[in-house]
Structure 1
Amino acid sequence: MKIFVTGATGFIGSSIVDELLRRGHAVVGLARSDASATKLQAKGAQAHRGSIYDAASIVPVLNEVDGVIHAAFNHDFSTYAQNCLDDGVLLERMAESLRGSGKPLIATSGTTVIAPGHLATEDQPADPAIPRSASERFLRFHEFGVRTGSVRLPPSVHGEGDTAFVPAAIALARRAGVSAYIGDGANRWPAVHRDDAARLFCDVVERGEAGHCFNAVQDEGIPFRVLAEAIGKGLGVPVRSLAPEKAAEHFGWFARFAAADVPASSRLTRERLSWSPRENTLLFDLDSLPSYFDLSVKALSI
């Protein structure tokens, strides 16, 4: 197959491109810059110049490929709700362009589109009150001849090069001189290694059933207290419980993530696609990858 990948030079997208190429697929990656285009071409992929902010730059290439993996997303959390809406609009535009083609259109979503506090599963519909659910509205196009699918990613997609939520928590703990959790820290975070997530994206584009969601989850729910302890160990700083009313003062914008209880299962994904995680766990990576505690690593802004 010839697969078009957005976010093709990003943390997860680059791993997806590598896995597609390993499987013998041809890859066309979206590139916003000459540097991104050069990276893709060096791997043996084709570069298509365009941007997720300009749907007209993307739509023409859809007729030239056999399927699409949409792995790009704007991670500026100061405009998060709008970013989610924009992502949904782009996916609708792509799905409309693929109407009647039978081609796969596989997008990125999050396990957190399910209301918190209980184990999220693949067959639970996204809560429309949660902004990221906008990225799953396009799934209905399976009724119009598009093999739609969504890969739901957990809050932590980890591995070498991670700059997301866990590195943000590390940067915050370094700045504060303490690694904190809220209350008893029993709230849970699921996690997956980026290479396992990449393999799932490829499995779904190859043979995922239309209209379905798939959970890229290895660790169903690591207590945040345990994450805080691993961060404290890595930084050599004390670990402390915070009263809920002190969370915003300590964590800032990260407080809602530090408090989130969002466990998720991948049992149905494993059954339906014979997918099984085989890379390191998040706690193993925190214990073994020096890059997680490297001062030069730039994490999400805190």
Structure 2
Amino acid sequence: MRVFVTGATGFVGSAIVQELLGAGHQVLGLARSEAAAQALVAAGAEVHRGTLDDLDSLQRGVAATEGVIHTAFVHDFSAYAAAGETDRRAIEAMGAALMGTERPFLVTAGLAGFALNRLATEEDNPAPLPRMSETTALHLAAQGVRVSVVRLPPSVHDAGDRGFVPTLIDVARQTGVAAYVGEGNNRWPAVHRLDAARLFRLALEQGAIGARYHGVADEGIPMRDIAAVIGRQLQLPVVSKSVEEAPAHFNWMAQFVGLDAPASSARTQQQLNWHPSHPSLLEDLAGGSYFTQQETGEAANTPS
């Protein structure tokens, strides 16, 4: 299958590209820069120049392929609503190009804040967040587009991660303490990016219209356990911050650090025969690679 991948040189997208190529698929990757184009060629993929807000270019990419995986998103938390609107328009444009075909379309959604204080399952409805990826996708499914959703947890981890956990590490370095909120019992789900990449391939090949799949390996890691590993690796004290203290200490991350959002992937594993096999988040952290990377100061990869 020839697959159009947005975000193809991003942290998750680049792993998906390798997974698809390794399974015998061809990849046409969206590239918004010359550096991204060169990275795609080096990976063995074809290049499609464009951006998320160039809807005509997105539709040309869809028309040239037999399946679509959408992973790109502008992770700008200072303009999150605008990023969500860009994402919605991109999904709608690609979905319109797929209308009346049987070509599969995978859309990436998030699990952060999805089902608070209980175990989220694939049957749960989308959260009312500015990122409307899943809601938009399910609207297309109701119109007959063969679209399904892969929900990813707050931490998709591996070497090169520039997401939430590296930001927590940067905060610890800057403040001199590894902190959590309250008792630190709130839980984060997580998945290794290579396990996530395999899930995307399986969902592309086997996914059902309107299905929701959970890319979750660790159902819920207590935040104090994450802080403990960070403190041990950086040789810093591990402390609790109150809810009132959290915004000043964690800055924009405060809205995520205190979330209790465990999630299950039992149904996904059964339906797609997907079984995570790579290291857990705590194992990745204990391995030390997260602490030799340069400080990012960023929330996550922006789309390429």
TM-score with structure 2 setting the length: 0.95
Deviations 1:156-207 (A, max 9, x none): 0000100100000000000000001111000000000000000001111111
Query: Which one is further off, 56-65 or 231-240?
Result: 56-65
Aligned to 1:125: 125
Give the Cα–Cα distance (whole angstroms) in 2 for the partners of residues 80 and 179 of structure 1: 27
1:218 aligns with 2:214: no
Aligned partners of 2:121 and 2:265 also within 8 Å = yes
Residue 208 of structure 2 aligns to a residue in which SS?
coil
Q: Percent sequence identity over matched residues?
A: 47
Separation in structure 1 between the aligned mates of residue 299 and residue 138 of structure 2, nearest angstrom: 32
Q: Are 2:35 and 1:35 equivalent residues in the alignment?
A: yes
Q: What secondary structure does 1:162 align onto?
A: coil
Deviation track 1:247-299 (CA, whole Å, cap 9, x = no partner) reads 11111111111111111100110011010100000000001132x11262424
Please give the alpha-carbon distance, in whole angstroms, between the structure 1 residues aligned to 2:115 and 2:299: 25
- TM-superposition CA deviations, 1:33-77 (whole Å, max 9, x none): 111111111222100000112111211121110000001010111
Q: Note the C-alpha offset of 1:244.
A: 1.5
| Counterpart code for 1:178 | V
Kindly indicate whether residue 276 of structure 2 is the aligned counterpart of residue 277 of structure 1: yes
Instruction: Quote the offset at 1:140 in angstroms.
Output: 2.8
Does 2:296 match 1:298?
yes
Deviation at 1:80, TM superposition (A): 1.2
Give the gaps of 5 or more residues in structure 1: none
Q: Supply the distance in 2 between the matched residues of 1:301 and 1:212 (Cα, whole angstroms).
A: 28
The 1:212/1:293 distance shift into structure 2, 3 A limit, reads same
Residue 113 of structure 1 deviates from its aligned partner by: 5.8
- Return 5+ residue gaps in structure 2 as ranges: none
Normalized against structure 1, the TM-score is what?
0.96
With 213-222 and 33-42 compared, the bigger mean Cα shift is at 33-42
Provide the aligned C-alpha RMSD in A.
1.5
Q: Could you say what secondary structure the match of 2:30 adopts?
A: strand
Secondary structure of the structure 1 residue equivalent to 2:131: helix
- Bigger drift between 21-30 and 140-149 goes to 140-149
8 A Cα contact 2:170 2:295, kept in partner: no
- Which one is further off, 131-140 or 212-221? 131-140
> Does the C-alpha gap of structure 1 residues 59 and 187 become closer, same or farther in structure 2, counting only changes over 3 Å?
same
* SS in structure 2 at match of 1:19: helix
User: Pairwise mapping of residues 184-203 of structure 1 onto structure 2 (< 5 A)?
Assistant: 184-203=183-202
> In 2, distance between residues paired with 1:76 and 1:5?
21
Distance 1:180 1:160 in 2: 22
Paired residue type of 2:18: D
Give the superposition deviation at 1:246: 1.0
1: distance between equivalents of 2:109 and 2:68? 15
Is 201-210 or 35-44 further displaced after alignment? 35-44
Partner of 2:83: 83
Q: Distance in 2 between matches of 1:269 and 1:73?
A: 23
Which residue number in structure 2 is paired with residue 266 of structure 1?
A: 265
Structure 1 partner of 2:3: 3
Compare relative contact order (CA 8 Å, sep 6+) and give the higher one, 1 or 2: 2
Look up the match of 2:252.
Answer: 253
